Structure 1
């Protein structure tokens, strides 16, 4: 137990200051995809102070084939993107969470840490209720395909790859189509699965499976 501060129950998990600082919603962004040949992609760059730890969760609108999502951090920017190699238009929604100073509300609860930083208020939308999709191992990675009731967003990652044999100038070559996370919301359910970065046609000759699980959140508290 902390020597001073507050003990708060956050969705069944104890939140203790000054020993804990929560990730809170920093920004939500919505971007429509644009066409680039037979490819449809969306992207956004969100400025985030380089000293703030940050994490992104993403979802897309529904498409016939899976649309992949990705997120990277470069200095003081978090960059999120989505891609559908089959040319299917979609909307990317990204939720950026960070540990950052909160804004003092006009009234309610305000909690500071030992360094004097405001870390939690009654208006903070805390990252909580993380859901694990898939089981690490053979049932994880590219073998994940699960539909959940409601709107969810996933933490982007790489699940594996599909090996496709194609003909180039009459000679067979094998290419690897990276499988990213995908999360398609159709208005009532979210389908979470692997999503290919390529629409290459050819013979599937193998695959690699990273065997990792996908972490997701229900987006209702942040919309």
Structure 2
């Protein structure tokens, strides 16, 4: 149990642990998300991957690619979640795609030696070998007209993976052979890691076929969230 008084956390029992950002969490009543699986793909072109996750339990997915402008999005069909990826509005190679899946691993496997912490019902929730998820970092500036939503474009030092989400919509009208039809494309998040820095931005999922007119964009005006994955 923990109580806060004048900015301090007072423990009556359990353990108090803070992350590298100073964010505290307490045990045994709080269980951190940790790395469940790291998946490395080397596709020749755009594609998809059925995520090995339990849809009845909370999870978080973060992605990166070694080619620029690779966007990621997730679809759900029944109990299955599928991660799709492509170089924005093209069929180019995405290079190496790395997927990080975080979730609650209860009970945690016990190490041969070290530290283990159990919750109040006797489940091991963290050990010295647990790869606790680094807190997501938000990129962009709330209230900015140029640094928010699909307009965000940041290059930062280190190894990051982006959390897939839709940052906006592109829409227009296609004129093809005298016929007109509406056209839309989501704008999704991307993360390009070149071995030293990570580019975190957004890109248009689909290319418009035919002659498109009245092209407009709708901005989600959200931050893009990414995770420092250098320790995984």
Instruction: State if a TM-score over 0.5 links the two structures.
Output: yes
2:141 paired residue number: 135
Matches within 5 A, 1:74-85: 77-84=80-87, 85=89
Alignment deviations for residues 74-106 of structure 1 (CA, whole Å, 9 cap, x no partner): 676543221223111122211000012211000
1:37 paired residue number: none
Q: What is the aligned counterpart of 2:54 among 41, 49, 69? A: 49
1:220 paired residue number: 230
2:178 equivalent to 1:170: yes
2:134–2:229 Cα contact (<8 Å) kept: no
Separation in 2 of the partners of 1:173 and 1:75? 30
Q: For the aligned residues, what is the CA RMSD? A: 2.1
Matches within 5 A, 1:137-152: 137=143, 138=145, 139-152=147-160
CA shift, 1:172, in A, is 4.0
2:28–2:117 Cα contact (<8 Å) kept: no
1:165–1:174 Cα contact (<8 Å) kept: yes
Deviates more, 1:186-195 or 1:211-220: 186-195
Separation in 1 of the partners of 2:58 and 2:77? 12
Specify every segment of 5 or more residues in structure 1 that has no aligned partner in the other structure, as ranges.
35-39
Runs of 4+ in structure 1 over 4 Å off: 72-78
2:70 equivalent to 1:67: yes
Deviates more, 1:6-15 or 1:44-53: 44-53
2:8 paired residue number: none
Specify every segment of 5 or more residues in structure 2 that has no aligned partner in the other structure, as ranges.
3-10
1:155–1:216 Cα contact (<8 Å) kept: yes
Separation in 1 of the partners of 2:207 and 2:224? 23
Normalized against structure 2, the TM-score is what?
Answer: 0.83
Separation in 2 of the partners of 1:103 and 1:132? 31
CA shift, 1:129, in A, is 3.9
1:142–1:211 Cα contact (<8 Å) kept: yes
Say which SS state the counterpart of residue 126 (structure 2) adopts. strand
Separation in 1 of the partners of 2:37 and 2:55? 15
CA shift, 1:200, in A, is 1.6
Say which SS state the counterpart of residue 40 (structure 2) adopts. strand
Say which SS state the counterpart of residue 47 (structure 1) adopts. coil
Normalized against structure 1, the TM-score is what?
Answer: 0.87
Separation in 2 of the partners of 1:215 and 1:80? 17
Residues 120 and 76 of structure 1: CA distance in aligned 2, closer, same or farther (over 3 Å): farther
Q: What is the aligned counterpart of 1:100 among 73, 98, 105? A: 105
